[in-house]
Amino acid sequence: MKETLLRLFAVALSSTLVWLAGPHGADAGVNVWTTNGPAATRILVLAIDPESPTTIYAGAESSGVFKSSDGGGSWTHTGLTGVDVRALAIDPLTPTTLYAGTYGAGVFKSTDGGTSWIAANTGLPDGYVRALAIDPQTPAILYVSISSYPRRLFKSADGGASWSASDGGLYDDIYVDALAIDPLTPTTLYAGTHGSGVFKSIDAGGRWTGSHAPAPFVLVQAIDPVTPSTIYAGTELDGLFKSSDGGAAWSGANAGLPMSSSSLLSVTSLAVDPGTPPTLYAGTSSVFKSTDGGGSWSRLDSGLPELRVNALAIDPLTPALIYAGTDAGVFVLEQRETGPPGADAGLDSAVEATVIFGLR
């Protein structure tokens, strides 16, 4: 049961945290991130089919949702085009069903793997979707954050057919930019806000309370799938924070990240290794890796241009494969230890890299 929940957890996080599979073996280059562009393709979110991990979805600015059926070897438009897609969520039990949160057009739903889409906005106000999350155990339950006033957060219990407000306790003057669901106890949720830090609900969104905000502007969250009381929060300008007690207390986790008294840091994406949760990745204008639960970080950026990393994803079956959705397309990196036995297997080890071609 626990293994099943951990697998489902890989598709339960909002816009910024999903798992992804990609090319293997001979298809890869060596030791460097690479891409063929195009630079105009800004990838905002990534998602993977948990039953067929060579099927990948990418949400893009102004271009809708793209799909790859061969692990990123080639891409085609789905039936949703011409909109900014800020969030994706896949039904973990029926992965041909997926949801897309857009800028200005609300939520769309597909039940045929992206071939066709319908609007799923009954009960939602006008505004743009900031975050979207799906219950990993009961995927008919979804949560969406909308930039509207006065209601900010909404819940559906019928697969997006209807929505109702789920924002009791949230302040009227804040927006929710990140949603995370406890994979083992999905009635526990965390909302990272634009202005008031992290809020927590323990009753499936019925009521929210402040969670000793680590910093006011939280952009992204990630939960340890094995020990879900461990939570990470990436912030705007204040770096990365970690809580080991379900959000009651937070501490900085920035050792090795490019942050100092004269250099502010925004963490725009996070991904936790589902098999080895002390290993996690953070996206800024580069990619960083920690193997000690955020205690220290090292760069993982050979060949990666300095640009915003909007999404990070880890192959759930081969966690050495990591993916970055950036302002210049999707990059892929396969890490391989090539040193002598006992050598450091961290970021200084040799890696194998390949490209997922930029999307248009």
Best CA proximity match to 172, nearest among 147, 190, 201, 140: 147
DSSP result, 30-92: SSS------TT--EEEEEE-SSSTT-EEEEETTTEEEEESSTTS--EE-S--SS-EEEEEE-S
pLDDT of residue 8 exceeding 90, the answer is no
Distance CA 326, CA 312 (A): 9
Distance CA 266, CA 286 (A): 11
State which residues form the domain around 96.
Answer: 2-19+51-303
Structural domain contains residue 242: yes
Distance CA 195, CA 209 (A): 14
Torsion of CA 180, 183, 186, 192, to 10 degrees: -10
Structural domain contains residue 329: no
pLDDT of residue 4 exceeding 70, the answer is no
| Confidence at residue 62, expressed as pLDDT on a 0 to 100 scale | 93
pTM value surpassing 0.95: no
Number of domains comprising the chain: 1
Collapsing DSSP to helix, strand or coil, 5 comes out as helix
Contacts of 278-283 with C-beta under 8 Å, sequence gap 24+, read: 279/319, 280/222, 280/232, 281/312, 281/314, 281/322, 282/234, 282/240, 282/257, 282/312, 283/308, 283/309, 283/310, 283/311, 283/312, 283/324
Structural domain contains residue 32: no
13-22, 123-132, 164-173, 192-201: range with lowest mean pLDDT? 13-22
Reply yes or no: is the peptide bond before residue 50 cis, omega within 30 of 0.
no
pLDDT in tens, 108-150: 999 999 999 999 999 999 989 999 999 999 999 999 999 987 7
Task: Kindly report the CATH number assigned to the domain that includes residue 112.
Answer: 2.130.10.10
17-31, 41-55, 301-315: range with lowest mean pLDDT? 17-31
How confident is residue 331, by pLDDT bands cut at 50, 70 and 90?
Answer: confident
Cβ neighbours around 87 below 10 Å, total = 26
Q: What average pLDDT does the chain have?
A: 84
Structural domain contains residue 353: no
pLDDT of residue 359 exceeding 50, the answer is no
Structural domain contains residue 252: yes
Structural domain contains residue 311: no
CB neighbour burial string for 42-77, b if at least 16 within 10 angstroms, e if fewer: bbbbbbbbbeebbbbbbbbbebbbbbbeebbeebeb
Structural domain contains residue 327: no
Q: Encoding tokens for residue 49? A: 């089919």
In one letter, which amino acid is 317? L
Structural domain contains residue 265: yes
pLDDT in tens, 32-60: 786 655 356 899 999 988 888 878 889 99
